[in-house]
Amino acid sequence: MSPLLLRGVRPYGEGDPVDLLVRDGVIAELGTRVDTAGATVRDCGGLVALPGLVDLHTHLREPGREDAETIATGSAAAALGGFTAVFAMANTDPVADTAVAVEHVRRRGREIGLTDVHPVGAVTVGLAGERLAELGGMARTGVTVFSDDGVCVADPLIMRRALEYSTALGAVIAQHAEDPRLTVGAQAHEGEPASRLGLAGWPATAEESIVARDCMLARAAGARLHVCHVSSAGTVDVLRWAREHGAATVTAEVTPHHLLLTDDRLGTFDPVNKVNPPLRTGPDAAALRAALAAGVLDCVATDHAPHAPQDKDCEWAAARPGMLGLQTALSVVVETMVAPGLLDWRGVARVMSERPADIGGLPDQGRPLAVGEPATLVLVDPDVRWTVRGAAFASLAGNTGFEGMELPARVMTTVLRGRVTADDGKVMW
């Protein structure tokens, strides 16, 4: 591969444009007097350069629901969204609860090569919450994150054991915090719109109580707990309190849709807005944005959840929860965090690349844009606005909650260890 010169990029959106030379998969030179001999030159016109984005929470649906998404189409969506690494959740069919199952996912990801696909291992066998899966066996294949996401590890004793056991593996337990007894039949955030619409309530307390419990368990075990898709202001309070009281190993993520969308969208009964945890109130969304800016929430994770049309184009109660996220995540973060001044581009790099890479234990992702570092980066046009069309996305499914919205900023080019994986809206298969 010949060297690639990215002419006129602004690392972290700061300072005057500089030239960035990619050679042999690393950033070989960075500055204004870069030797261009033999390089393919690309004029970047002041695009913002960030380290490649890392998603701790992606559903790629393979194996089992290849009609909704495959590792190939999900990888393409990731590349187009600026992601150079994704963590594929374990709630596939069969469940990724053995070394064989997780290795299959990793191998398919590597064969496709558009983004680093890191399998998440299940915490319990079959996500049933009854006995621990072989965490050690999966860890030996390189699994660093374990989660039963989709369901909560609700039994406090199982959760305690998982946290304790994981300390020997250097792994993190990512919890889908939802007390199942408080959410029997739940359909939407328990609040005014749901009560008016007759949708059974999913109370914020079902999340907050589990997060409080797990923080205490993690503190006692000295274990690493990661809280998935924080959705309520109360959970932010719990996390802040827990950190101040010695639960230093607890991290947390927020999804783009919980930053932007609220339960005032329920009135159409369109299940595209059905997610788990549910869209909550405007004050919740505001608290999540403030917490992300303040670092109480460590990072953004998409919870990219493709669903086949028949699983969304139906009655609300029959629909599966979740929405697409990979190709809208950066734009939603710009809309909710950068535009109002809550984060600068360096902050975006922190919450969408550096922190998730750190939490997921990826030494070669989320690296500084500096000479000698991996050429794993994304170029963003901060000035363009575009209209979301789910049908145009690389995912097989089209269930985006942002359909028709005009969002700021567009991923122009994604580079993974020197290889361009997506360019100007095209996947470089």
Partner 1 sequence: MRHLLSAADLDAPTATALLDTADRLKQALAGREVHKLPTLRGRTIVTMFYENSTRTRASFEVAGKWMSADVINVSAAASAVAKGESLRDTALTLAAMGADCVILRHPASGAAHRLADWIGTESATLRAGLAAHVVNAGDGTHEHPTQALLDAATLRDSLGTLAGRRVTIVGDILHSRVARSGVTLLTTLGARVHLVAPPTLLPTGVRSWPVTVGHDLEAALPESDAVMMLRVQAERMHGGFFPSAREYARDYGLSEARAALLPEHAPVLHPGPMLRGMEISSAVADSPRAVITDQVRNGVHVRMAVLYHLLAGVEEVT
For the annotated catalytic residues, the residue numbers are: 303
Residues 287-316 that bind partner 1 (CB under 8 A): 310, 313-316
Among 197, 216, 308, 405, binds partner 1 (CB under 8 A): 197
Stretch touching partner 1 by CB under 8 A, among 184-192, 229-237, 339-347, 406-414: 184-192
Smallest gap from residue 202 Cβ to partner 1 (A): 11
Smallest gap from residue 63 Cβ to partner 1 (A): 23
Residues 360-399 that bind partner 1 (CB under 8 A): none
Among 317, 339, 371, 384, binds partner 1 (CB under 8 A): 317
| CA dist., res. 368 & res. 26, Å (int) | 12
| CA dist., res. 293 & res. 276, Å (int) | 23
Among 195, 283, 295, 387, binds partner 1 (CB under 8 A): 195
Q: What is the 3-state secondary structure (H, E, C) of 80-145?
A: HCCEEEEEECCCCCCCCCCHHHHHHHHHHHHHHCCCEEEECECCEHHHCCCCECCHHHHHHCCCCE
| CA dist., res. 229 & res. 227, Å (int) | 7
Helix axes 156-166, 204-221, angle to 10 degrees: 40
Q: Which residues of 153-171 are buried (b: 16+ CB within 10 A; e: fewer)?
A: bbeeebbbbbbbbbeebeb
Among 136, 193, 347, 382, binds partner 1 (CB under 8 A): 193
Return the number of the residue (40 or 268) whose C-beta is nearest partner 1.
268
Q: Quick check: 253 binds partner 1 (CB under 8 A)?
A: no
Q: Quick check: 234 binds partner 1 (CB under 8 A)?
A: no
Return the number of the residue (201 or 322) whose C-beta is nearest partner 1.
201
Stretch touching partner 1 by CB under 8 A, among 62-70, 168-176, 233-241, 267-275: 267-275
Stretch touching partner 1 by CB under 8 A, among 12-20, 105-113, 118-126, 264-272: 264-272
Stretch touching partner 1 by CB under 8 A, among 31-39, 61-69, 188-196, 334-342: 188-196
Element (H, E) at 428: none
Query: 30: which strand partners?
Result: 20
Return the number of the residue (44 or 194) whose C-beta is nearest partner 1.
194
Element (H, E) at 26: strand 26-31
Return the number of the residue (194 or 338) whose C-beta is nearest partner 1.
194
Stretch touching partner 1 by CB under 8 A, among 21-29, 167-175, 193-201, 345-353: 193-201
Whether the upstream peptide bond of residue 63 has omega within 30° of 0, thus cis, is yes
Furthest CA-CA distance within the chain: 67
Q: Quick check: 200 binds partner 1 (CB under 8 A)?
A: yes
| CA dist., res. 411 & res. 274, Å (int) | 27
The amino acid present at 105, given as its one-letter code, is V
Q: At 271, list the tokens.
A: 């299940």
Smallest gap from residue 274 Cβ to partner 1 (A): 11
Return the number of the residue (244 or 315) whose C-beta is nearest partner 1.
315
For partner 1, the binding residues (CB under 8 A) are 187, 190-201, 203, 268-270, 310, 313-318
